[in-house]
Structure 1
């Protein structure tokens, strides 16, 4: 029996990501909090550098004998995904530093779980077979069960059940979704005998119904990860109950992993009808429910559900839609990170997102934070000056029209118009005149906005806001750079 070939250079991004988790564990054991934070930051940067060095043109590894299909496949999309996952990990760590200083979570455990999740994200990007893909998705997701509920309460502080409830909800839904995806993979393998993505084909003959059922179950199981309607109910409650930095990671890295996994399936197997239905339901329900939200994190949660619908619309095209969907996903996670970073900066350390009315006049108190949040909202809405979001939506609509899916492009455009309402409302609220303290204010949220002091912004959080905003502006003015990187 011929041994599998192993190219260790191709595995450098995985070595860097997994090594970061081990390094953080050792740093927590032998050194202090500062070393742990530095280890995760350095490991994230090293992972991104390794992905860039390896690139997307190198041959795969863990290949079948005789030069067959491989389980680890470098590609331009995989390299971009690894860089984005590493950047999100470092960014979320920066957002977490103020609350970690307060002791709301143990630093070592928090950083180890974050590094482990980053490792899973890297595996998803490079996965070349269904087993590696699902293992990567679960490695990305499993640490998040703990991160959502990882909360210490100070002596005398009122203990909230929200983090534990959110963690249990997320855990139960994810277990069900994983079981469905595994069943789909098993049915598809039973009908076709293929596990490697390059060998996945639509089955013909007597086993075709079994294979079709397997494809449908795979798509449904992975659709849970991106909170596609009607598989979305866990997302708003989980985001609201999780600490703000963890909610940011859920809304960006976790969703990106689900998008990459879905793209790997729909690019090779015909699931156009099911994906199109999910896309229409997701963007429509997400936007309509977002119109009624009164809390910031729930608004961002429903907004992210709607954004997932636009990505699914591109994936309904199959292989031609993978590049537009991936580009949209990258634009989205950068803009979403900006939005959550500004919310973290405007709220006290360790606090939740608060009601929307608590942000009344925040743009007047902190002009640069208000401008960054408006940039994020404009980008998510597809309006200038958020050029990154504008190019993302134009890319998806162009791809749909070019592939004779004009009706779906029309649904995307209609939903983009609906989404303007809540993005404009939230942006305008930032610059509304605060209520006067001397006047009786019936709504506690308005009173909070009227008396809210201008909090000093942590240098780490400020750095994340500035860095993410610069990336969004750069992508908006030079989107072709991202398209070229995706190959």
Structure 2
């Protein structure tokens, strides 16, 4: 049992707030409230202004990260122990916040086109408020260093996401997807809260660093209670990461949600889950690595296998949805992201564990850029093909050659093939983390899954350059006239393309995080 009096968040904390440290999530939240109020006074013909204001707010939130690069900052600290804080802006926090806010910005650009195309079904003011609120919660989570703040940030990121999935008015599929997402997430949150209550009961504190110190002294009957708390807490965050068997909500949710929301969930939603999982395991529970290490290794193997086999079933001849394939692909990618976290449990020292976590961060940055790019091309195709089937991509090169080349590049990055060099190097980094931790069997499972994924990624890539099905025998089908691509969608395509190509040309920009101490 924890020694000494129990310390809670109700104790006196240093009241001076470091506003610079909390600026990124605060700016996103304030702009979200401002957009919601402004919606009451903006006419229906000028709703686009709300979108540009939201894009500007997310851009300012990203720029607010720059002053924080000088060194670690912390706020909301205990008066008696200034090193014990609720909010810490360290290297790990800044990298994840960059990923979250950058992903939200690209999703916002995609959303501007979607809102213009679906004015009757997507209310602008509510949409932007929910997106910015969720982004604020997602940016808060990696900075959280106590369990209360962690759960609050998780729910602030999740609750608006439920509404975003079901925001399309009059769409039964969207409503069903939101309900499934909501019910399963509530159950996962309840399990997490139960686990956290067990951890608090045995340690008497909610601060992650204090839990790490006190939990080593837990013995006897409380040891079993602590183990149960560790497992239950992991289950809740495994849902957020879409780890198998907690992935069942993903395909229907991605297909039923507006496409920009699906793109947002595929990147920002995963960043929320993985950053929370890292904080719980590596920061708060390193002494229980023998519990969460094997569990995460098994989850990683199961997740990548089920995800890739699910994606493999999405055949173009059966007119499956391209978004559903991306959904199953995201489940498989979640398995790769879990591998280095599991490897951290088998590290010989703290430095090796931090390098393993760096591999997850590096892979997440690569995945975010290219996956959002794939969704941007899907948004382009969806403007003329609302069903967004895989068959609709046949012959895309004839009508939109640049978009087809970009999608081919993004898919090759996800597959880990040249010229998608960044995808190849990111997979090698994750593979090395598994081998270095002695998880040879997990490295073999990953290698097999990479081969499985090659099939459906290459199948989709080849489809882009095939002749269209409406080609007559002995003649070439006339390609549809290219339509004007809206400026926000063009910007999203350009940004993801530039980032993906730049990272493939200089992969050290991301891979250096694998060799950097993040905490």
Alpha-carbon distance between aligned partners in 2 of 1:80 and 1:55, rounded to the nearest angstrom: 10
Say which SS state the counterpart of residue 469 (structure 2) adopts.
coil
**After superposition, what is the alpha-carbon deviation per residue over 1:259-294, rounded to whole angstroms, capped at 9, x for unaligned?**
111111121322101101110100011111111113
1:338 correspondence with 2:368? no
Alpha-carbon distance between aligned partners in 1 of 2:163 and 2:442, rounded to the nearest angstrom: 38
1:182 correspondence with 2:208? no
* Structure 1 contact 256–333 (Cα < 8 Å) conserved: no
Query: Offset of 1:30 from its aligned partner?
Result: 3.0
Aligned-residue CA RMSD in angstroms? 1.9
Aligned to 2:396: 362
Aligned to 2:161: 144
> Structure 1 residues 171-180 or 355-364, which shifts more?
355-364
Say which SS state the counterpart of residue 21 (structure 2) adopts.
coil
Query: Offset of 1:241 from its aligned partner?
Result: 0.7
**Equivalent runs, 1:307-318 vs 2, <5 Å:** 307-318=333-344
Alpha-carbon distance between aligned partners in 2 of 1:25 and 1:354, rounded to the nearest angstrom: 31
Query: Offset of 1:302 from its aligned partner?
Result: 0.5
* Structure 2 contact 72–91 (Cα < 8 Å) conserved: no
Say which SS state the counterpart of residue 302 (structure 1) adopts.
helix
Query: Offset of 1:390 from its aligned partner?
Result: 1.1
Aligned to 2:144: 127
Counterpart pick for 1:61 among 75, 90, 97? 75
**Equivalent runs, 1:412-431 vs 2, <5 Å:** 412-431=446-465
Aligned to 2:277: 262
**After superposition, what is the alpha-carbon deviation per residue over 1:383-420, rounded to whole angstroms, capped at 9, x for unaligned?**
11112211211111111222222221221111111110
* Structure 2 contact 130–164 (Cα < 8 Å) conserved: yes
Structure 1 residue ranges without an equivalent (≥5): 153-158, 440-448
1:403 correspondence with 2:437? yes
Alpha-carbon distance between aligned partners in 1 of 2:506 and 2:147, rounded to the nearest angstrom: 34
Paired positions, count: 471
Say which SS state the counterpart of residue 60 (structure 1) adopts.
strand
**After superposition, what is the alpha-carbon deviation per residue over 1:15-36, rounded to whole angstroms, capped at 9, x for unaligned?**
2122121221232233341331
Change (3 A) 1:347 1:326: same
* Structure 1 contact 279–312 (Cα < 8 Å) conserved: yes
Alpha-carbon distance between aligned partners in 2 of 1:450 and 1:164, rounded to the nearest angstrom: 39
Counterpart pick for 2:232 among 217, 238, 252? 217
Say which SS state the counterpart of residue 205 (structure 1) adopts.
coil
* Structure 1 contact 116–139 (Cα < 8 Å) conserved: yes
Counterpart pick for 1:7 among 14, 18, 21? 18
Which of 1 and 2 has higher RCO (CA within 8 Å, sep 6+)?
Answer: 2
Aligned to 1:88: 103
Query: Offset of 1:433 from its aligned partner?
Result: 0.9
1:242 correspondence with 2:257? yes
Say which SS state the counterpart of residue 240 (structure 2) adopts.
coil
Query: Offset of 1:88 from its aligned partner?
Result: 1.6
Say which SS state the counterpart of residue 19 (structure 2) adopts.
coil
Aligned to 2:360: 325
Change (3 A) 1:211 1:353: farther
Say which SS state the counterpart of residue 30 (structure 1) adopts.
coil
Aligned to 2:116: 101
Query: Offset of 1:86 from its aligned partner?
Result: 1.8
**After superposition, what is the alpha-carbon deviation per residue over 1:98-135, rounded to whole angstroms, capped at 9, x for unaligned?**
22123031111111111001101111121111111111
* Structure 1 contact 375–386 (Cα < 8 Å) conserved: yes
> Structure 1 residues 128-137 or 318-327, which shifts more?
318-327
Query: Offset of 1:477 from its aligned partner?
Result: 2.3
1:463 correspondence with 2:480? no
Query: Offset of 1:451 from its aligned partner?
Result: 8.0
Aligned to 1:48: 62
> Structure 1 residues 37-46 or 421-430, which shifts more?
37-46
> Structure 1 residues 160-169 or 353-362, which shifts more?
353-362
Alpha-carbon distance between aligned partners in 1 of 2:65 and 2:511, rounded to the nearest angstrom: 17
Alpha-carbon distance between aligned partners in 2 of 1:352 and 1:222, rounded to the nearest angstrom: 33
Alpha-carbon distance between aligned partners in 1 of 2:203 and 2:139, rounded to the nearest angstrom: 27
Query: Offset of 1:464 from its aligned partner?
Result: 0.3
Query: Offset of 1:377 from its aligned partner?
Result: 0.6
Alpha-carbon distance between aligned partners in 2 of 1:56 and 1:22, rounded to the nearest angstrom: 30
* Structure 1 contact 40–111 (Cα < 8 Å) conserved: yes
Aligned to 1:167: 178
**After superposition, what is the alpha-carbon deviation per residue over 1:356-389, rounded to whole angstroms, capped at 9, x for unaligned?**
1121111222111011111111111111111221
